[in-house]
Structures are given as C-alpha cells and as structure tokens.
Amino acid sequence: MSDIDIRTAGRAGRITLTRPHALNALSYEMCMAIDTALRNWREDDQVDLIILDAEGDKAFCAGGDIAELYATGTKADYAYGQTFWRDEYRLNALIFEYSKPVISFLQGFTMGGGVGIGCHGSHRVVGESSKIAMPECSIGLVPDVGGSLMLALAPGRLGEYLGTTGHRMGPGDAIYAGFADHFIPQEHWAGLIDQLEASGRAELVDEHAVRAPDSPLAEMQGEIDRLFSGESLGDILNSLRNDDTEFSTKILGTLQRNSPISMACAVEMLHRLRGTGLTLQKALDLEYRFTYRAMEHGDFLEGIRAQIIDKDRNPKWQFADLDVPAVAVSKMLQPLGADALSFSEE
C-alpha cells in the first residue's frame, strides 16, 4: 500500500505513514493494515518493539480520511462510517493494550485519528514542531479514538477545555495533559530509531529524553478550572458569559463556532468517565454511541460540508442558540444494544 510502509527492521516492527501530501490522513485501509501487522508481530519472537512514525515535516497524522465518510453519509449509507469507527476504535484498544512497547514519533500535527494511533502506545515522543489536538467538535463529532480517556484523566477541567475548543498543544502542553511522555529534539529521532531497531531496547527512549519546554496550559490551569467547572455545556457558557476577561471572551468566540450538540455530549462524556473504573474500553464504547449516530442524528455531515467540501465556514448547526436540551444529549449517548462496540477478536 503506497499510503503506508509496514516492514521489520532489526528487532523492530516498523509502521511509517507515507501520505505527507495529505498530512498522513488515516484511511480505513491504513487502519486495517496496521491492525493486521500488530496482530502478527504480537506473536513474533523476532520483534521486540513497534515504532510508529510518518514522512514529512507537517504532520504525523492530522486525522482520519473523511472524504469517503462524507460521500457515503450524504447518500444515507451510514454503515460505512459505523464500520470505520468500530474497527478504528478496536485498533486504538489494541495499541493501548499491546504486550510489547509501542513507540511513536509525533512531529507536526497529530489530531483526531492521529491521536488514536499515536497517543495510546507505551512511549509517545514529541519534538519542537509537535501540535496535538482533538478538534472534533468543529466538525460535528466528539473527541474520540480514545481521546476522551486522556481528556478525562487530564489535570482539573483541562479535558473540557481541550475537548470543546480543540486547543492545539505544543510539546510541553501535550506532556502536561497526558497525551505524550517524552520530549526529544527532532534532530535526534533518526539516530534513536536506528538504535531501537538494532537493539530492541525501548528504554533507549527514556535515556534520550530531555526536559520538555514549559507548558502554557499549566499556567492557565486555574482559569480553566474556574471557567469549566460546570456540570453541563450550559453551565460552562454561563461562566464564560459572566466573566469579563480577554481569555473568556476568546474561548466563547471559539465555542460559538463549534457544534453545540457535539460540545454538550463531549462535556457529558467526560463527567461520566471520571472516577473509579475508568478504562479505555469504556471510553471507546461511549464515543461509539455518539459516532454511530453522528451522521443521521448529529452535525457531522453539515460540519464536513462547511469545513471541507464547500469551505464556507458557515455550518447550520442544530441548537444554534447553544441551548442543548439534556434529552438530546441523552439520546446521542444512550446504549446501542446489539450494535454496541465489541472488542472480541473472534
């Protein structure tokens, strides 16, 4: 497959995304190729670790390839998208639970589906150019691919802020928020990969890591906690509207551009996930309840039309007044019964 290069090199299983012209956007076929390789290498004693990287300077992976999702959804064929998300989420869980070290090198943009394959491994490396984000609410989805797990575990109310605004995190922020582990200057990546291939020793990553840049998010933590402490999107919006600061005004402007039903569901998801018993599978199950319904009942198709297809940046959202009824949120997140996400490898 020309979009991805899968091979073994020394003691390493190697997966390189090779679509730099498309910011290494992840297609269904690429997901399935990664899934197959990981399942094969899991049983291969010659493979000690997995290395995930990508060609190009601009992006590790800027998200999923949504062209086919839009094309099928606009014909009322929702099965393709449901299958795509189901199998992608199963891949996310496979990476998270993998029995061998999975080392990812996340240059440039890592967003959406890129987070799903790049931010669930054991060693997540960022460099100077890294920009990590979950911008799904801007296109009528919710933070998914297991991203809701990391958002729920992020300090304070950072998850609500990152999930609703799509804020882009630099390397220091990504480590602070729990989306990455190690900062290594990018000029050292090629040499480190050579050493990993030759030795099969994942601990070399820890040995090469240096102090990460400071995290602006850490300095904003108090303000974010104060403004995003509400139990619902409506509570958060009230806090922002009643706070006469440049920071709150800027955030409010961002939220007013995003899908209200998506943001309301994102906030509810994080509140449901927090606490004891949180697992990636629970997060993915909850995400799938939304994405399963996103084309038929959510704002996904309109979001893609406005942002990607027509590019008029003027989506006609449901609940455009930002007043999202609790019952609408409940309907998007109710259990799927027989269609629920399964992690069986049968």
DSSP 24-55: TPBPHHHHHHHHHHHHHHHT-TT--EEEEEES
Tell me: pLDDT of 162 over 80. yes
What is the C-alpha separation between 166 and 143, in angstroms, rounded?
A: 9
Tell me what the mean pLDDT of segment 145-149 comes to.
Answer: 98
What is the C-alpha separation between 306 and 245, in angstroms, rounded?
A: 30
pLDDT digits (tens, 9 = 90+) for 255-304: 999 999 999 999 999 999 998 889 999 999 999 999 999 999 999 999 99
What is the C-alpha separation between 135 and 255, in angstroms, rounded?
A: 11
Start-to-end CA span in the chain (Å): 26
pLDDT at residue 250, as a whole number? 96
Catalytic residues, by residue number, are 64, 113, 136, 144
What is the C-alpha separation between 106 and 126, in angstroms, rounded?
A: 5
Query: Is the pTM for the entire model greater than 0.85?
Result: yes
What is the C-alpha separation between 94 and 157, in angstroms, rounded?
A: 28
pLDDT at residue 179, as a whole number? 98
The superfamily (CATH) of domain 4-136+165-208 is 2-enoyl-CoA Hydratase; Chain A, domain 1 (3.90.226.10)
- Of 140 and 65, the structure prediction assigns the larger pLDDT to 140
pLDDT at residue 276, as a whole number? 85
User: What H or E segment, with its residue span, contains residue 252?
Assistant: helix 246-255
**Full strand arrangement of the beta sheet holding 12-17:** 4-9, 12-17, 49-54, 102-106, 123-126, 182-183
Report the relative pairing of strands 4-9 and 12-17 from DSSP bridges.
antiparallel
Nearest C-alpha neighbor of 137 from the set 30, 227, 223, 251: 251
Tell me: pLDDT of 228 over 70. yes
pLDDT at residue 320, as a whole number? 95
Tell me: pLDDT of 1 over 60. no
Tell me: pLDDT of 252 over 90. yes
Tell me: pLDDT of 346 over 80. no
Range list for CATH 3.90.226.10 in the chain: 4-136+165-208
Tell me: pLDDT of 65 over 90. no
Read off the pLDDT band of 239 (50, 70, 90). Answer: very high
pLDDT at residue 313, as a whole number? 92
Residue 47 phi, psi dihedral angles, 5° rounding = -110, 115
